[in-house]
Amino acid sequence: MKSITIALSGNPNSGKTTIFNNLTGANQKVGNWPGVTVEKKEGKARHKDYDINIVDLPGTYSLTPFSAEEIAARDFILTGDPDVVVNIIDASNLERSLYLAMQVAELGRPVVFVLNMADVARSRGISIDAEQICALLNIPVVFTVGNKNQGTDILLDTAINEAVFASKNKKRRGIKYSQEIEKCIESVVHEIEARNLALPETPVRWNAVKLLEGDRIITGEFENEPHLLEVVGKCRNRIEDLFQEDPEMVLTDDRYGFIAGIVKEAVSISNKKRIDISRDIDLVLTNRILGFPIFIFFIWAMFQITFSLGAYPMEWIDSGLSILTRFLDSAIAPSYFKDLLLDGVLAGIGSVAIFLPNILILFFCIALFEDTGYMARAAFLMDRVMHLVGLHGKSFIPMLMGFGCNVPAVMATRTLENKKDRILTALLTPFMSCSARLPVYVILAGTFFPQNPGTIIFLLYFTGIIVAVISGKLLRSTALKGEDAPFVMELPPYRAPMLKSLLIHMWDRSKMFLKKMGGVILVGSIIIWTLSYFPKDIDYSKDYSAGIRQLKIEKEKAGTLSETEEINERIYRLSKEKKTERVAKSYIGRIGKTIEPFFDPLGIEWRSSVALITGLVAKEIVISTMGVLYGVENQNANALESALKSSGMTPLSALSLMVFVLLYIPCTATIIAIWKETSGRWALFNLFYTTAVAWGLSFLVYQSGRLIGFG
Ligand code: GDP
Ligand code: MG
């Protein structure tokens, strides 16, 4: 067993004690440095075939002998005979740390530089080229993360190697001073060497530098060498004359200059630049006056792109689906299975799949905001607005996502630290009108407010936000009372987005939407179809079949083309009438009639009521249910519009219906997400609360509309 001694030096808070503990474990003893009340810790470690004695030096910023700590540290390195000095450097604070490190190196012992806090440096975008430092100084450099015990083995390997194999007088490239000072050092070195005066175990050059600095301890050691002190005195005067400054200050400046050079060589400045550029961008984007309008513009642009760009793939999917429907229609013989497949599965999934492009684009935009770093700025800007609700800017991110789909939005509340904030945000997010509700608005507003559907839709979104604000205030002052604790919004530097990670982010969230479509919506569509398809044997109010048969006979006899067309039209109307009565008498129709009284004061009749109930599965289903119930053949928006118009629905009841769709219980998947992120009780609360709010506001809209004679 061979034995070596390692001294650990470093700035306070560089992680020295942490590394000392990593190296020694419980194997420590604590005492005092001789003569002073500075704590001295020693410990033992074993690595490969070495017994290692480790001494934790006091943390200091320099080795100028001003404080007891500095003296103790320097004395131990000089006279305690450590085989190697391991100097711990805070890598996130390289420049300051190197000041001490370079002084340690100047003492001439074998040294290892440890770049600790490597994780912090990395997270701040500081990248340090260890090999470059090593090459510049001829000192081995290793990285560690002290609090994770990373790099400890490499540290020991390197330290042993340096202690055992490096000659103690290995040629280091130490600090180079300015020319005049180097000249002075040279003449003092010459004087010391000529008479072999150097203090034991110390490099000659170091003696000279300390004398020139006027280090009182070292100068004291030479008090019996008046000739040397005279040479030193002359040099000091020269330096003072030249620089008009105390020699110690001049030497310190030179050291910092040298260190700045190392940092420039070894630290990548591209990150620094990035931070500077970020600051410039922020001058505009988070500007007190410009910031908000720019933010509103981005949000507006996001929705614009989502819906205008999304319209193209929407059409492709639409025509693709109708081609598929027509193909299956002609390819499959009539059966229950066929009806289920076409009217249930395909129609249900299709009415949702159509919105996939919108969802993808919206989530792409949100990923873009997040990846570039703009989302943090948006949260920062929204901070003041969010305080209206008793939340802070961070809650804005889930809420914004809520416009896409509430499910990932509720899940995103996880990033909030405070539990009450999390609950409140999760409860308010469903008032952000998700994209599933949009088709309902598009069709109803398009049908009943053809002059200005856009304004109506905008007002609905806005109503959702207002309801969220009021609800937030209400909950904050009751069940979720709490302080909105001040916090620091982190503003990471802007980054150029990478397409791959944008796509991954987009996909991660869209996946939730697709899962919902594949599972919940599929099952929901099948159930609704079944309920509207059965019972099979219905007592019709008149014999439609006979009527249709009769018309067909008439058609064969018809002479002119216009006569044939007229009969065709009558057949179509009669079969539609039959279908409507079918649905009214089906199970779902009966359910609708039962719940009608609940919706009656809102001006919502039974078919829409059923659609609302089925919308609990997923709000996308509202439209497809309406399609089934209003007797529309394929899921064609135009057909549904005319069916709605002829159904007796008025603009006012349509408005009431839209308000209800906006506010009532979010879909099952969202309720489950709220449950998972908060608790069953809060999920249940949300169920009742949203229904009450929806009913109340729809009632207000419908009844006050009637009062003023609208619709
Ligand atoms: P000393 O003053 O040099 O003895 O520093 P300590 O060992 O007491 O460490 C100061 C703090 O920094 C402690 O909270 C450590 O957990 C932490 N720390 C030490 N090394 C690292 C590191 O590599 N990364 C990070 N993030 N923290 C560290
Ligand atoms: Mg310590």
pLDDT tens across 422-464, in order? 899 999 999 999 888 888 888 888 889 988 888 888 899 889 9
Q: Which amino acid is at 588?
A: I
DSSP 493: P
Strand partners, 32: 39
pLDDT of 633 reads 58
Structure tokens at 442: 């598009």
Q: Is the CB of 12 under 6 A from ligand 1?
A: yes
Q: Is the CB of 59 under 6 A from ligand 1?
A: yes
Distance CA 12, CA 131 (A): 25
Q: What is the DSSP string of 397-410?
A: HHHHHHTT-HHHHH
CA of 145 to the centre of ligand 1 (A): 9
599 CB-side CA count, 13 A:
25
pLDDT of 581 reads 81
Q: Is the CB of 152 under 6 A from ligand 1?
A: no
Structure tokens at 211: 């004398």
Q: Is 468 exposed, middle or buried (0-12, 13-18, 19+ CB in 10 A)?
A: buried
Instruction: Average the pLDDT over 211-239 and give the result.
Output: 93
pLDDT of 638 reads 67
Which atom, in ligand 1's list, is nearest to the CA of 116?
23
Which atom, in ligand 1's list, is nearest to the CA of 16?
3
Closest Cα to residue 355, out of 519, 520, 514, 524?
Answer: 514
Point out the ligand nearest to the CA of residue 61. 1
CA of 21 to the centre of ligand 2 (A): 10
Q: How many residues does the chain have?
A: 711
Query: Lowest-pLDDT range, 26-35, 228-237, 258-267, 566-575?
Result: 26-35
Comparison of pLDDT for 186 and 274, the residue scoring more: 186
Highest mean pLDDT among 245-254, 266-275, 530-539: 245-254
Contact 595, 322 (CB under 8 A): no
Point out the ligand nearest to the CA of residue 11. 1
Q: Is the CB of 595 under 6 A from ligand 1?
A: no
Contact 240, 247 (CB under 8 A): yes
Q: Is the CB of 92 under 6 A from ligand 1?
A: no
pLDDT band at residue 684 under the 50/70/90 scheme: very high
Sequence-distant (6+) residues with CB within 8 A of 384 are none
Pocket test for ligand 1, best of 18, 89, 123, 128 (most atoms within 8 A of CB): 18
- The domain 2-165 belongs to what CATH superfamily? P-loop containing nucleotide triphosphate hydrolases (3.40.50.300)
Protein residues near ligand 2, an ion, with CB under 5 A: 17
Neighbours of 632 (CB within 10 A): 22
Instruction: Average the pLDDT over 247-273 and give the result.
Output: 83
Q: Is the CB of 110 under 6 A from ligand 1?
A: no
pLDDT of 408 reads 79
DSSP 345: I
Sequence-distant (6+) residues with CB within 8 A of 489 are 376, 379, 380, 383, 392, 393, 394
Distance CA 354, CA 313 (A): 8
Asked if residue 247 has a cis previous peptide bond (ω within 30° of 0), the answer is: no
Q: Is the CB of 116 under 6 A from ligand 1?
A: yes
- Confidence check: pLDDT of 489 > 70: no
Going by CATH, does the domain composed of 179-269 fall within 1.10.287.1770?
Answer: yes
Distance CA 61, CA 14 (A): 10
Closest Cα to residue 439, out of 615, 632, 687?
Answer: 615
pLDDT of 169 reads 52
pLDDT of 488 reads 63
Structure tokens at 678: 């908060």
Ligand 1, atom 6, lies closest to the CA of 15
pLDDT of 636 reads 57
CA of 271 to the centre of ligand 2 (A): 30
pLDDT of 181 reads 92
Helices and strands: H and E segment counts in the chain = 33, 7
Sequence-distant (6+) residues with CB within 8 A of 65 are 71, 74, 215, 216, 217
Q: Is the CB of 446 under 6 A from ligand 1?
A: no
pLDDT band at residue 546 under the 50/70/90 scheme: confident
Structure tokens at 684: 């249940």
pLDDT of 167 reads 60
CA angle 604, 674, 347 (to 5 degrees): 50
Ligand 1, atom 9, lies closest to the CA of 15
Q: Is 635 helix (H, G, I), strand (E, B) or coil?
A: coil
Q: How remote is the C-alpha of 626 from its chain's centroid?
A: 38
Ligand 1, atom 2, lies closest to the CA of 13
- Confidence check: pLDDT of 208 > 90: yes
Q: Is the CB of 60 under 6 A from ligand 1?
A: no
Instruction: Average the pLDDT over 395-406 and give the result.
Output: 84
Q: Is the CB of 151 under 6 A from ligand 1?
A: no
CA of 151 to the centre of ligand 1 (A): 14
Contact 47, 16 (CB under 8 A): no
Sequence-distant (6+) residues with CB within 8 A of 309 are 357, 361
Ligand 1, atom 12, lies closest to the CA of 15
DSSP 490: P
Contact 335, 460 (CB under 8 A): no
pLDDT of 274 reads 66
Sequence-distant (6+) residues with CB within 8 A of 566 are none
CA angle 393, 394, 399 (to 5 degrees): 90
pLDDT of 31 reads 75
pLDDT tens across 81-102, in order? 899 999 999 998 898 899 999 9
Comparison of pLDDT for 513 and 619, the residue scoring more: 619
| Mean pLDDT computed over every residue of the chain | 85
In Å, what is the CA distance from 607 to each residue of 169, 473, 588, 639, 711?
94, 35, 9, 16, 19
Pocket test for ligand 1, best of 19, 147, 148, 149 (most atoms within 8 A of CB): 147
Structure tokens at 235: 């040099």
Q: Is the CB of 662 under 6 A from ligand 1?
A: no
pLDDT band at residue 632 under the 50/70/90 scheme: low
- Confidence check: pLDDT of 185 > 90: yes
Distance CA 459, CA 461 (A): 5
pLDDT tens across 293-336, in order? 998 888 888 877 877 888 788 888 888 888 888 898 888 888 88
pLDDT band at residue 280 under the 50/70/90 scheme: confident
Sketch the domain layout of the chain as residue ranges: 2-165, 179-269, 291-379+435-449+496-534+588-711, 538-585
pLDDT tens across 62-85, in order? 888 888 888 899 999 988 889 999
Structure tokens at 402: 């809520």
Q: Is 201 helix (H, G, I), strand (E, B) or coil?
A: coil
Which atom, in ligand 1's list, is nearest to the CA of 14?
3
Quote helix, strand, coil % in the chain, to nearest 5.
Answer: 70, 5, 25
CA of 13 to the centre of ligand 1 (A): 6
pLDDT band at residue 683 under the 50/70/90 scheme: very high
pLDDT tens across 551-563, in order? 888 888 877 888 8
pLDDT of 552 reads 86
Query: Lowest-pLDDT range, 202-206, 414-418, 671-675?
Result: 414-418
Q: Which amino acid is at 430?
A: P
pLDDT of 103 reads 92
Sequence-distant (6+) residues with CB within 8 A of 542 are none
Q: Which helix (H) or strand (E) holds 688?
A: helix 680-707
In Å, what is the CA distance from 220 to each residue of 72, 76, 196, 229?
17, 18, 17, 10
- Confidence check: pLDDT of 631 > 80: no
Pocket test for ligand 1, best of 8, 13, 119 (most atoms within 8 A of CB): 13
Q: Is 311 helix (H, G, I), strand (E, B) or coil?
A: helix
Point out the ligand nearest to the CA of residue 87. 1
Query: Lowest-pLDDT range, 19-28, 335-344, 512-521?
Result: 512-521
Ligand 1, atom 28, lies closest to the CA of 147
Ligand 1, atom 1, lies closest to the CA of 13
